[in-house]
Amino acid sequence: MKSTNPFRKLLRGSPLRPIQEHMRAVQKGVALIPQLFAALKANNQAEISVVATKIDEIESEADDLKTDYRAHMPSTLLMPVARRDLLMLIAEQDKIADKANAIGRILTYRKMEIPEACLLLLDELIEHALESYSQAANVIEQMDELMEGGFAGKESRRVRELIVKLQETEDSADKLLMRINRALFAIEDQLNPVDVMFWYKLIDYIGEISDRSENVGDRVLLLIARS
């Protein structure tokens, strides 16, 4: 029987298109993070649960795409890239979805309140995380043109420039991460100790979105270097 799986059709057309589809799926979950924290600021636990459920469903969708890619990707590729490198790339993308989902689960399972001293820094950190992801997604969207150019030439230089900007954004996120951790440390004794533990974890997960996004860019750089 002829397969009707649309993912397999994409894979037959190009091993890069499913990676792009996966990154777009991940984006749907990352984009909901501001809604989670808006609901937290409004003390709306019901809305947090609704948004977190959506993120969980999107993470499952992205995970299914990753699993399908691994299962149906040919063992050999007529491309200037290694199969293993592409598998590592989609795995790195999937970790971004995992972190978004982890944030939603914490806010669902435990009623939290944003410490006033961390409020503005938290907003900045979330903004940097989303910007890092957006830049990484833009790099992935350039993969078709990159492949057409044999991972070299003008398109390669343009993608390298995009990745440099991504690295700069992630570096700024790292500095924000240190600042917000210091702010939280300064008021630890004023907060519930368990809340403090979960806030450190939430802050780390938000920072991980920027970090994993940079890793996606680094994986693409590796593809270019090995081609």
* pLDDT value, residue 152: 76
- Tens of pLDDT, residue by residue over 59-83, are 999 999 999 998 887 665 556 677 8
The CATH number for 14-226, chosen from 1.20.58.220, 3.40.50.10800, 1.20.1050.10, 1.25.40.420, is 1.20.58.220
- Is residue 162 within 8 A of residue 139, CB to CB? The reply is yes
Going by C-alpha positions, the residue among 39, 34, 183 that lies closest to residue 118 is: 183
The Cα 97–Cα 56 span in angstroms is 9
CA 171 to chain centre: 16
Mean pLDDT over 109-115 rounds to 94
* pLDDT value, residue 78: 59
The Cα 77–Cα 89 span in angstroms is 16
Largest distance between two CA atoms of the chain: 65
Residue 22 Rama label (left phi>0; alpha psi -120 to 50; beta)? alpha
* pLDDT value, residue 77: 56
DSSP state of 15: T
* pLDDT value, residue 165: 96
Which of the pair, 152 or 56, is modelled with greater confidence? 56
